[in-house]
Amino acid sequence: MIARDLITTSFTPLRTSDPVSFAITQMEELRVSHLPIVNDVEFLGLISDSDMLSINDPEEEIGNLRRPLSGAYVTEGQHIFEVMKVFDSLKLSVLPVVNDKNHYLGLITLSRLLKELTSILGVDNPGGIIVLEINDKDYTLTEIAHIVESNDAKILNLYVTSYPDSTQIDVTLKINRIDLGPVLQTFFRYNYLVKASWSHEDAYNEGLRDRFDALMNYLNI
């Protein structure tokens, strides 16, 4: 997925002639702390609420303000992971998208980004999560996939977490199987260290136990 696919056009960009009071009102209504400034179709920069804190005249045109986030944007063809990186590095609430002519195309919001990441990571799909702790030299994706698939399961998502000054990595798997027992047993036989595991079944059974306990308490009154 690329930036162009994440755009929302429901946010109207600011113009250089808009007063500070209007910009602040827009941010409050939209519940964001940044908004783009656009001249016709040309993207000029991203203004933040902190840029306007020291302005005494609410009718001051935002075109007269310093815009330190002039480089805060992504191009329409950048991958969603690059979008995440810019969001995180600049601590943004919205991210403008431009084309190769620096023409403003629209915004990416954090909520839209989170929604798409949820889909990519398979969060909504039933199944289980397994976290393996492995030495980075022993990490073999083909073997991990073979273990999962030998138990009639598929890997829906996989990501690796590394740590500074350590050769150990965490490999997190999301698989399409709720009953993780057979998969876990196979990992144990292959001498993998299972750091943690969760499944929707765990949450379901926990919910059943909670409701059962509540019913028993009610009946004992």
All structural domains of the chain? 3-117 (3.10.580.10), 128-205 (3.30.2130.10)
**CA separation for the pair 99, 74 (Å, rounded):** 9
Q: What is the pLDDT of residues 56-88, one digit of tens each?
A: 888 989 888 776 566 799 999 999 989 999 999
- Strands (DSSP E) contained in the chain are 34-39, 42-48, 74-75, 94-98, 104-109, 128-135, 155-162, 168-175, 193-199
**CA separation for the pair 81, 1 (Å, rounded):** 9
- SS3 at position 59: coil
Q: What is the pLDDT of residues 103-135, one digit of tens each?
A: 999 999 988 888 888 777 766 678 899 999 999
Phi, psi values for residue 192, rounded to 5°: -85, 145
| Closest to 69 (Cα-Cα) out of 34, 21, 121 | 34
What predicted TM-score, i.e. pTM, was given to this entire model?
Answer: 0.70
The span from the first CA to the last CA of the chain, in angstroms, equals: 56
**CA separation for the pair 173, 156 (Å, rounded):** 8
Q: Are 83 and 74 in contact (CB under 8 A)?
A: yes
Q: What is the pLDDT of residues 2-57, one digit of tens each?
A: 999 999 888 899 999 999 999 999 999 999 999 999 998 999 999 988 888 778 88
76 burial class (0-12, 13-18, 19+ CB within 10 angstroms)?
middle
Strand partners of residue 39: 42
SS (H, E, C) 82-128: HHHHHHHHHCCCEEEEECCCCEEEEEEEHHHHHHHHHHHCCCCCCCE
